[in-house]
Structure 1
Amino acid sequence: MERRWNGWGMLNGEYQHSPSPQAVTMAEERLGAAEALTVAELDEVLAKLPASRLESHPLLSFDSEIRVRHSRGQSLPDLFALRSGELGAVPDAVAFPETEEQIQDILTLAQSCNAIVIPYGGGTSVVGHINPPKSDKPVITLSLAKFKELYHLDRESQIATLGAGLAGPELEKLLNAEGYTLGHFPQSWELSTVGGWVASRSSGQQSLRYGRIEKMFAGGTMVTPKGTLDIPTFPGTSAGTDLREVVLGSEGRMGVISKVKMHVTPLAEVENFYGVFFPSWEQGKALSKTLAQQMLPLSMMRLSNAEETASHLKLGGDPKAIAYLEKYLGWRGVAEGKVMFTFGTTGDKKSCRFALKQVKRLSREFGGVYIGKLIGKAWEHSRFRSPYLRDGFMDLGYAIDTMETAVDWSKTDEAMEAIESSIRTAAESFGEKVHVFTHLSHFYPQGSSVYTTYMYRAGSDYDEAYQRWLALKQAGAKAIVSVAGTISHQHGVGEDHKEYLPAEKGELGIATIQSLCEHFDPEKIMNPGKLVD
């Protein structure tokens, strides 16, 4: 199935791109009517593609469509660039190495012709990780598309050696056939790759059970301009600095991740998702914090604030079923201002029954109304759908983006309120409304992630859409810095978050990262301008 060149997913894929009539009505009520913007055809974009600045080489492809398809990620500005046809910089060539020796050959070639190399996994970055810089130097985008094998499975140690170019569905198909799962399900799961997850320190929707990517990453191989870094696996070690931490979050600045060794888990006996509604945010948050700190064996939790809850119910499936649910909740005293809590149990039947029983008991204590699997099944069915809806709304002239952070429990409310209010204020500065809402989706005894979605009218053209996005993005990012949140919990740094990183790492911390980059890449050919200068 062919992938869309200027948006998310596959052509004629599983999910519909068009928002429901209820969703369109909600957007018009909240923001006003919008105008659809013209979308460039692929042929138009190809016709004005600049000639490559590189000479012919057997490891390089100069095909125009391949160059375009590897020119951008999936951020909102990337979507504007692709739809407008104004791509700016594009790779001069795309390489598809099949071995680590060929990766090294490409890095050597880049050094000899003073070219830049950008590692490319699934092309799903939302912060500019894979975008070619405007530079006098030619650009080689190095795809890991040929690294798609399960090379080895150590069943006794539960460690799988995997090609870095394996996308989520491919990876799970290989592991499931052997009775295992990685259990890493970011929203980009359908297209993003395991190498990209490691390079950007990804977090999956069921991290409560399986852990973040850094917990799964046991070792692997990174090919660098200085040579190949092989990281062996140990159950534990006190032998100095853990080199896995050098690779995690490296964002292509030090080398190309070719193979990864990952902790895998036997397939669960049962898995179910459930919903609870609370009269207020405070009650829902109190339950979430209690569950996280008691470390009950749950696989996921998600707490939507009142605005997100109302929006999701409006966007929900059968209007009659939603109306009945609203009526029932009102009868139970959960009405205006209610919040929705979704959770999952994954594992053996006994532990899942225990976890469900405990959540139901604690939910009652905090004033919640348990509604069974209705909301849980809806979440499970649509868990990878949001990127498709973003494209569908863009077809109608509405732009949607997200930003996320993580803070300690003592700062959760402050962070949510600061981010939302700053985005609303920024929209007012250019005379527009913005629909903004938040949820907590990754939980720790110490705190949680804070994930905010905002929607606005794109405007009269793509430049105006970008300028509006920039104002909203900067406002939200500055709010995150003001409450001492991390600039990213799961999206990474790339270009878009780079200017905010010093507030988190400090001058010495930034210098440390820069020194590591220079050690592995003294000629600065690897993905310059991302993560740090």
Structure 2
Amino acid sequence: MRRWNGWGDSNNHYPLKPSGLAFIQARLGRAEPLPDAEMAAVIAQVPASRLPEHPGVKTDAETRLRHARGQSLPDWLAMRSGEFERFPDGVASPSSSEEVRALLDWALAQGITVIPYGGGTSVAGHINPPEGDAPVLTLSLAAMDQLMDLDTQSQIATFGAGTPGPKVEQQLRERGYMLGHFPQSWELSTIGGWVASRSSGQQSMRYGRIEQMFAGGRVETPKGTLTIPTIPASSAGPDLREIILGSEGRMGVITEVKVRVTPLPETETFQVAFAPDWDTGKELVRQMTQAKIPLSMLRLSNA
């Protein structure tokens, strides 16, 4: 199960090594660690929901707690200390675009603020409930996590927007394809979230950033359904995809994402080279980039 106040699965542990602790203490000094908040104590802080009853909305305290914060440093401090401040009034988990449409219509009629929620990896604060008198509904797309279609002729795949990175690649790999988009949040973030945040992957040199992969899709907006067809590049006017890319949920709820995929490579290798100094390494990277050597990733690291 996902940690309620940290990153990743609660069964995975990566304790700080003694050498790492010594390194930090040597630079920051010794200090007493702050105690971690207990979930029961935080649950006791969750106020009563302000939402009217709805069969598709959960209002129990633990579900609301688990959808209250993202993964920025301020979020982590709030979660570890138990000082969440605000919680959504309810969480809905629709399984189709039609259910999203119905929930949006219900929320708009009731004056409810809606927050689209993908993998919860946000560092921009946009999934945190805002201050105000309006009740808040978090719309989780976790149930919309399937490969819906794969057109092998055009090499365009359609996914439910809540599909997390590992499931995107797993479902494509079974058909002999890959997307190749690997942001640092890959294990928990979703394909809809990548579009909404204009994400960049670690192998974007070969496979492209998400704006190069995003071919179209479906967005449920406050005014109705926006369908973005998979039209090729055109000189006739603005590209609707650019309006949705990086919109962070402001334009509506992205429910279906069409992306350009690639056949699985026969082989893939990762190489490491050493440069005598930083300036030499920087020059080497510049020359390799400008020569357009067909790499998937090029990274320069210092000590």
Q: With the length of structure 1 as denominator, give the TM-score of the two structures.
A: 0.56
1:196 aligns with 2:158: no
How far off is 1:238 after superposition?
2.2
Q: Find the counterpart in structure 2 of residue 361 from structure 1.
A: none
Q: Find the counterpart in structure 1 of residue 3 from structure 2.
A: 4
Give me the identity figure in percent. 59
Find the aligned partners of 1:25 and 1:251 in 2 and give their Cα distance: 40
Which stretches in structure 2 are left out of the alignment for 5+ residues? none
1:24 aligns with 2:21: yes
Q: How does 1:94-493 map to 2 (within 5 A)?
A: 94-305=91-302, 309=303
Find the aligned partners of 1:235 and 1:114 in 2 and give their Cα distance: 39
Question: Could you tell me which of 69, 72, 85 is aligned with 1:88?
Answer: 85
Find the aligned partners of 2:209 and 2:84 in 1 and give their Cα distance: 33
Q: How does 1:34-53 map to 2 (within 5 A)?
A: 34-53=31-50
Find the aligned partners of 1:235 and 1:107 in 2 and give their Cα distance: 31
Q: Find the counterpart in structure 2 of residue 77 from structure 1.
A: 74
How far off is 1:134 after superposition?
1.1
CA deviation string 1:320-359 (max 9, x = no partner)? xxxxxxxxxxxxxxxxxxxxxxxxxxxxxxxxxxxxxxxx
How far off is 1:32 after superposition?
2.1
How far off is 1:55 after superposition?
1.2
Q: With the length of structure 2 as denominator, give the TM-score of the two structures.
A: 0.97
How far off is 1:270 after superposition?
1.4
Find the aligned partners of 2:250 and 2:74 in 1 and give their Cα distance: 22
Find the aligned partners of 1:194 and 1:33 in 2 and give their Cα distance: 42
Find the aligned partners of 1:129 and 1:221 in 2 and give their Cα distance: 21
Sort the Cα spacing of 1:289 and 1:34 in 2 relative to 1 into closer, same or farther, 3 A: farther
Q: Secondary structure at the match of 1:304?
A: coil
Q: Secondary structure at the match of 1:8?
A: coil
Letter in 1 for 2:8: G
Letter in 1 for 2:77: F
1:58 aligns with 2:48: no
Q: Secondary structure at the match of 2:290?
A: helix
Q: Secondary structure at the match of 2:270?
A: strand
Find the aligned partners of 1:173 and 1:199 in 2 and give their Cα distance: 22
How far off is 1:34 after superposition?
3.1
After TM superposition, the runs of 4+ consecutive aligned structure 1 residues lying more than 3 A away are none
How far off is 1:234 after superposition?
2.1
* Greater gyration radius: 1
Find the aligned partners of 1:96 and 1:69 in 2 and give their Cα distance: 13
CA deviation string 1:103-144 (max 9, x = no partner)? 112111221221100000000011212111011110000000
Find the aligned partners of 1:167 and 1:35 in 2 and give their Cα distance: 37
Q: Find the counterpart in structure 1 of residue 65 from structure 2.
A: 68
Find the aligned partners of 2:224 and 2:300 in 1 and give their Cα distance: 45
CA deviation string 1:162-198 (max 9, x = no partner)? 1100001111110010011110001100000000000
How far off is 1:233 after superposition?
0.7
Which stretches in structure 1 are left out of the alignment for 5+ residues? 310-533
How far off is 1:277 after superposition?
2.3
CA deviation string 1:357-400 (max 9, x = no partner)? xxxxxxxxxxxxxxxxxxxxxxxxxxxxxxxxxxxxxxxxxxxx
Q: What is the RMSD of the two structures over their aligned residues, measured on CA atoms?
A: 1.1
How far off is 1:302 after superposition?
1.3
How far off is 1:101 after superposition?
1.9
Letter in 1 for 2:26: E
